[in-house]
């Protein structure tokens, strides 16, 4: 029995369970020369997938209706007719949401479960860690002693960005949505300060207090009113790394914010969007640092692991309510 999750309808606003369709097939899969048979072990759910559910031009084409959704997956090779892979290997790659599937090995990387837990290859040693490292270093260009503020700080990427910031000698402030998350940022991830945007009466003033020397780098995962509040606190030559805008992904109307242009011109500041694949040439350097810091205990991570293939859509939807701490992963 093979199960697949299709995009049934394009979400309007917040995605709902009914936007997804489960299909079961009673079939045994046959592989031919060059192919491998994969059994899915872990599926990554990520905010950026929301964008691909719209029928809009973007850096990657939209998901097609009634076709499988895909995301980062860790799978086990259960049969191989490809010399690069053998039975029992684990691989990571962008794959459809299926319990089993045939692949030709293209775009798949072998991962080593003896060096780190398999789920880490979807997180800190995968797209999450690479996104945090490349965005912070290539756009943020941190200089020891500067002040970094991170929104969505308790999320998968945000918590890694903050820790790398500390390793690089920055003062690090995190913004998140519950006191429990704020505590975790400080006690587990070593952030210098945290701001709870749900209980704060004046985020702009709290940022000013937490960053008395102003903000040099803003790693932005959320957009919206939180980002507006940060803008009032940026320094001259500030760098704003736009990694995501989760606060507006579900907007039905084009969201409005304060005009950023006067802030950027007044401060000679930079704002740059990116996706991790822009910096593919930096991946070897990033992996060397990330795995080294992880081994030295300088870097830690949090996962929210949900059980069961049938819970993938719900785990995805929960991202938009901040139910995850760190990387959200579904274990099959």
Helix (H) or strand (E) holding 327: strand 327-331
Do 37 and 99 touch, CB atoms closer than 8 A? no
Smaller CB distance to its own copies: residue 92 or 131?
Answer: 131
Question: Rounded to the nearest whole angstrom, what is the least distance from the CB of residue 256 to its own copies in the complex?
Answer: 5
Do 168 and 289 touch, CB atoms closer than 8 A? no
| DSSP conformation letters of 222-239 | S-HHHHHHHHTTEEEEEE
Query: Which residues in 12-41 contact its own copies (CB under 8 A)?
Result: none
Smaller CB distance to its own copies: residue 12 or 87?
Answer: 12
- Greatest Cα pair distance in the chain: 63
Helix (H) or strand (E) holding 209: helix 203-210
Query: Which residues in 173-232 contact its own copies (CB under 8 A)?
Result: 220, 223-224, 227
Indicate the Cα dihedral angle 215, 221, 224, 229, nearest 10°.
-20
Q: Which stretch binds its own copies (CB under 8 A): 15-23, 97-105, 174-182, 251-259?
A: 251-259
Smaller CB distance to its own copies: residue 34 or 51?
Answer: 51
Rule CB under 8 A: is residue 264 a binding residue for its own copies? yes
- CA separation for the pair 64, 71 (Å, rounded): 14
Q: Which stretch binds its own copies (CB under 8 A): 16-24, 82-90, 250-258, 298-306?
A: 250-258
Indicate the Cα dihedral angle 325, 50, 215, 148, nearest 10°.
40
Question: Rounded to the nearest whole angstrom, what is the least distance from the CB of residue 45 to its own copies in the complex?
Answer: 18
Smaller CB distance to its own copies: residue 27 or 261?
Answer: 261
Query: Which residues in 268-297 contact its own copies (CB under 8 A)?
Result: 268-275, 278
Smaller CB distance to its own copies: residue 225 or 322?
Answer: 225
Do 60 and 38 touch, CB atoms closer than 8 A? no
Rule CB under 8 A: is residue 45 a binding residue for its own copies? no
* Strands 20-25 and 36-44, bridge-based pairing: unpaired
Number of residues interacting with its own copies: please give it, by CB under 8 A.
Answer: 37
Question: Rounded to the nearest whole angstrom, what is the least distance from the CB of residue 233 to its own copies in the complex?
Answer: 11
Rule CB under 8 A: is residue 59 a binding residue for its own copies? yes
List C-alpha distances in Å: 241 to 42, 103, 163. Answer: 29, 35, 16
Binding site for its own copies (CB under 8 A): 51, 58-59, 220, 223-224, 227, 236, 242-245, 248-249, 254-275, 278
């Amino acid at each position: 029995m093979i199960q697949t999750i299709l995009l049934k309808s394009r979400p309007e606003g917040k995605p709902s369970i009914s936007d997804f369709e489960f299909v079961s097939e009673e079939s045994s899969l046959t592989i031919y020369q060059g192919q491998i048979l994969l059994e899915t072990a872990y599926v990554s759910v990520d905010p950026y997938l929301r964008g691909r559910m719209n029928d809009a031009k973007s850096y990657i084409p939209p998901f097609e209706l009634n076709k499988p959704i895909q995301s980062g997956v860790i799978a086990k090779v259960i049969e191989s007719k490809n010399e690069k892979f053998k039975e029992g290997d684990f691989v990571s790659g962008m794959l459809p949401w299926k319990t089993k599937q045939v692949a030709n090995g293209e775009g798949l990387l072998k991962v080593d479960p003896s060096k780190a837990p398999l789920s880490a290859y979807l997180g800190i040693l995968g797209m999450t860690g690479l996104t945090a490292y490349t965005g912070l270093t290539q756009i943020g260009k941190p200089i020891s002693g500067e002040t970094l503020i991170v929104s969505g700080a308790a999320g998968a990427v945000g918590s890694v960005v903050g820790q790398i910031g500390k390793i690089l000698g920055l003062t690090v402030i995190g913004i998140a949505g519950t006191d429990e998350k704020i505590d975790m940022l400080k006690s587990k991830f070593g952030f210098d300060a945290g701001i709870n945007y749900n209980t704060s009466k004046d985020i702009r003033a709290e940022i000013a207090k937490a960053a008395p020397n102003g903000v040099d780098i803003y790693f932005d995962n959320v957009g919206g009113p939180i980002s507006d509040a940060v803008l009032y606190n940026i320094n001259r030559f500030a760098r704003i790394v736009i990694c995501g805008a989760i606060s507006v992904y579900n907007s039905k109307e084009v969201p409005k914010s304060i005009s950023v242009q006067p802030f950027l011109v007044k401060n000679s500041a930079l704002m740059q969007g990116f996706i991790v694949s822009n910096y593919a040439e930096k991946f070897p350097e990033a992996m060397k640092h990330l795995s080294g810091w992880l081994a030295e205990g300088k870097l830690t991570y949090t996962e929210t692991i949900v059980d069961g293939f049938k819970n993938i859509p719900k785990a995805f939807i929960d991202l938009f309510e901040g139910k995850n701490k760190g990387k959200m992963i579904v274990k099959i």
